[in-house]
Amino acid sequence: GLLAQYGYNKQSDIGTGSYSRVWLATSRNHKKLVAIKQIDRRPNSEYLKRFLPRELDLVLHLNHQHVIRVYQTFRTTTYVCMVQEYAPGGDLLQKILSSPHQRLHEGDAKFLFRQLIEGIRYLQSIHVLHRDIKCENLFLDGYGNLKIGDFGFARFLNDGEDTKTSCGSRPYAAFEIMTGQSYSSNAVDIYSAGVALYIMLTGMMPFNDKKKDKHQAIHDRRYCNIYFPQTTVQKHAKELIMAMLTSDPAKRIRTHEIIEHSWLKDMPYQFL
């Protein structure tokens, strides 16, 4: 098969995305496990024309402990393949759903959230917007460390540039994306990371959009109309989430401020 030609032995099917199949494989040269994302090039979709070329251009540049590494890309007439670091711990949504009460302990959430912010800060330093931060795209390695993956909607955006592209997933979408405004910073990723933090701590979605029309969804985001269960979200965590879900991107908390936030400052057991 195709993968064998490039030196990989297919082991099993580990995932299906909207545009891709992902295979677990071993590399014959390095004797190591990799996850190979295989994308069918034949359908004539917006993703293939517009987003995939960016993803391919971008992923080979990524080099950080909290971002999934991509070792190699190759293409044939029918497929594009990305050979990636394998994340044996699965994704964060699976972890949350399989936890007692379907939420994380505060200490675990703090540990993983800090790693997410470090990953986002790295992406910011190389001028990358991810634009699809959500629990399904946050992977866990064999030690339980978080790695940001799925750069299907990502792009480079230099200082002074802006864009209006609406992308990502509705429940995680920043206010400025929902309202179709142009945006120019990684504040969109901070917003989505705030949604992810809320889900980690409560097991619920901050904005219950399913039952609501777009108008109501926008209203809830504009006024940051969120319910917090008293027992699972303490004061500092609540403050941080509210600061990340601030509707005005210019007033939204920034990565370096998040790192300094009181909720992350008191680390109960990170260093055990």
State how far the alpha carbon of 142 is from the alpha carbons of 28, 88, 110, 239, in Å: 21, 6, 18, 32
State how far the alpha carbon of 34 is from the alpha carbons of 10, 30, 71, 113, 162, in Å: 10, 10, 9, 25, 35
Backbone angles phi, psi at 149, to 5 degrees: -130, -170
| Residue 169, token pair as written in the block | 């997933």
Instruction: Work out how close the CB of 91 gets to Mg ion at its nearest, in angstroms, rounded to a whole number.
Output: 8
- Residue whose C-alpha is closest to residue 120's, from 270, 260, 256, 266: 256
Instruction: Work out how close the CB of 153 gets to Mg ion at its nearest, in angstroms, rounded to a whole number.
Output: 9
Count of residues binding ligand ADP (CB under 6 A)? 21
Instruction: Work out how close the CB of 100 gets to ligand ADP at its nearest, in angstroms, rounded to a whole number.
Output: 22
| Residue 86, token pair as written in the block | 């394998």
Give yes or no for residue 150 binding Mg ion (CB under 5 A).
yes
Q: Select from 10-18, 68-76, 214-222, 236-244 the region that touches Mg ion (CB under 5 A).
A: 10-18
Give yes or no for residue 55 binding Mg ion (CB under 5 A).
no
Interface of this chain with ligand ADP, residues 116 to 175, rule: CB under 6 A: 136-137, 139, 149-150, 152
Q: Compare residues 68 and 197 and give the one whose CB is closer to ligand ADP.
A: 68
How many residues does this entry show for the chain? Answer: 272
114 contact, one of Mg ion, ligand ADP, none, CB 5-8 Å limit per kind: none
Q: Which residues are catalytic?
A: 132
- For the chain, the maximum distance between any two Cα atoms, rounded to a whole number of angstroms, is 56
23 contact, one of ligand ADP, Mg ion, none, CB 5-8 Å limit per kind: none
Interface of this chain with ligand ADP, residues 34 to 73, rule: CB under 6 A: 35, 37, 68
Backbone angles phi, psi at 108, to 5 degrees: -65, -40
Find out whether 9 and 3 touch, Cβ atoms under 8 Å. Answer: yes
Among 4, 9, 13, 17, interactor with ligand ADP by CB under 6 A: 17
- Binding residues (CB under 6 A) for ligand ADP: these are 14-15, 17-20, 22, 35, 37, 68, 84-87, 91, 136-137, 139, 149-150, 152
- Binding residues (CB under 5 A) for Mg ion: these are 17, 137, 150
